[in-house]
Structure 1
């Protein structure tokens, strides 16, 4: 009997496969072509799917809040390239800074998240993965199964059920649609870009230690003041004229609107006390 049923099932499956695009799912069929019972069933299925999506989103937001993860997905999604230590944590719902500082965090990262990130980094290391665009990293991640759930919404569950992947993946999609992804169009040399990324990370870290938070879309001070810090931070890579500096950082950071008065103190002075000669606004 079992074999007979299997044969019938396979035959039906083959007939449907041969029809190709002629087959429509219930949700694709006009509602007026469905009887009342089918319409009710379709509506119930769609509601269930919607509830699952909403529950998954709520669980992600819950973990982000509990773990104090920085939600700067759009910034990372708009970067020209990312290295493995940035991309792999992001694909697992963890900002690179939280990953780097995981040993010193007050809110420990979940074991499942750490294991997933370490697995991804091992794969990247084994393949000697080079820096690449966020979209290319997502394609790479899918090939290696990084788009699967990695966290549990309840301890009694056997397998992870919360998928953190959409946090970064959706940001990359927004960046692509908005034209904010810079694929080789940046004028900045690679050494400058790498040094500037390190500077921004350092500024962000120092802001955090003072109880603040850096907004890379509303940077404090002026470009010239930031350039001064950059020259002190990495003189070999970031000692450039203001006009060149302006070109190099275009699309990476934005500054607060409004012109600063002459003599305005450099807002980075408190962050970098080792640079005692940071100047005030001159122009």
Structure 2
């Protein structure tokens, strides 16, 4: 049986269109993931230096409450997550000043409480169909051009503000008393840093998900510390290592049909394990 040439041409055109579409969504994922990695690298360095990994987890978990409130009241998702994460940060500062409980105890209460409240609110909204897995583990392959713009513009804003508070934040990381003596206002720098973390988590939630945000913050920065000799070099290396992890994770996800968000974290873990090899030169940056 001979297949008419027009039908063959139509079939080839369909395949080409699908290939172009696949290239488009993969390119969007690369752009969004790389932009996020470049942003979280320097923030992750401070998370490690200041031993704030649990704080990052708390803010990430609180984002599910932001999602639930956004769906319940038809709010902008990114704005809702940012407001909730920022509110949790401010609440933590207030509770710390009152004393009575250690910081890790307060973080544990806030982390699990906000996550549980978010899950309960989602369960009550039976009229809304929610893909909970996409919020927990992200869906970077579903990003749209507006998401890419949000990541890059938001990331540029975060890095610009971080550059402004870099000196007082770094000084207070080394010694809070010395920073105060030099008039650097470390409390204000710490507050701004927490708000920047809230903004990054709001931006990153759709890409890597609630449960994987902290991993993307910590692992590239921990890897960079093995190579860098100064804080500034460590911040730059953390961004570059995060970008490599995003690219490697996405290509691995495409090749082996694995979830994209977890694949990015696994790629970052592989780079960290490589950095532990004895032949790798160690850096000497602030130990966290």
TM-score grouping bracket, smaller chain normalisation: under 0.3
Q: Which structure dedicates a bigger proportion of its chain to helix? A: 2
Q: TM-score, normalised by structure 1?
A: 0.26
Structure with more contact order per residue of length (Cα contacts < 8 Å, sep ≥ 6) = 2
User: Which structure would you say has the larger Rg?
Assistant: 1
